[in-house]
């Protein structure tokens, strides 16, 4: 959860693990820009400027949004934001990597079965 000043107000260990952050990275209510700088290794350098802007906007813009991020380590992360009445923004991240891989695997099998039964 980010406050209206763009500073991290609340986090959980899953958030830290997902982004390779240490407790000291999260101490002292860091600004979203400082946290996003630490996320850079998870994205291809050529696309980093776009991801940088997108990730910062999640913690600053007061609008409800959701989407998907594809990281360079093949992790697939879904995100959702929710503006809060106090001016802050709740941002959630969900690692969808396993789900996406299962869907791809099952989808491939379904397509193969359809072709063989035609």
Query: What residue numbers bound the domain in which 101 lies?
Result: 13-117
DSSP string, 20-66: T--HHHHTT--BHHHHHHHHGGGS-GGGHHHHHHHHHHHHH--S-EE
pLDDT higher than threshold 60 for residue 113 = no
Distances in Å between the alpha carbon of 72 and those of 11, 37, 39, 68, 76? 24, 15, 11, 13, 9
Please write the tens of the pLDDT for every residue from 68-108: 999 999 999 999 999 999 999 999 999 999 988 888 878 65
**Dihedral sign (CA 29, 31, 34, 39):** positive
pLDDT higher than threshold 80 for residue 26 = yes
Please write the tens of the pLDDT for every residue from 15-24: 999 999 999 9
* Structural domain contains residue 7: no
Task: Please state the domain count of the chain.
Answer: 1
* Structural domain contains residue 42: yes
* Structural domain contains residue 94: yes
The pTM (predicted TM-score) of the whole model is: 0.83
**Which CATH number does the domain housing residue 41 bear?**
3.30.450
pLDDT higher than threshold 70 for residue 112 = no
């Amino acid at each position: 959860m980010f406050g209206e000043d763009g500073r991290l107000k609340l986090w959980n260990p899953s958030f830290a693990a997902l982004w390779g952050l240490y407790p000291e990275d999260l101490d002292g209510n860091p600004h979203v820009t400082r946290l996003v700088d630490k996320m850079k290794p998870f994205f291809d350098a050529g696309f980093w400027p776009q991801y940088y802007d997108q990730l910062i906007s999640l913690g600053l813009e007061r609008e409800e949004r959701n989407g998907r991020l594809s990281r360079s380590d093949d992790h697939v992360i879904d995100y959702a934001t929710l503006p809060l009445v106090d001016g802050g923004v709740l941002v959630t991240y969900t690692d969808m990597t396993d789900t996406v891989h299962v869907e791809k695997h099952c989808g491939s099998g379904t397509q193969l079965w359809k072709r063989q039964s035609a």
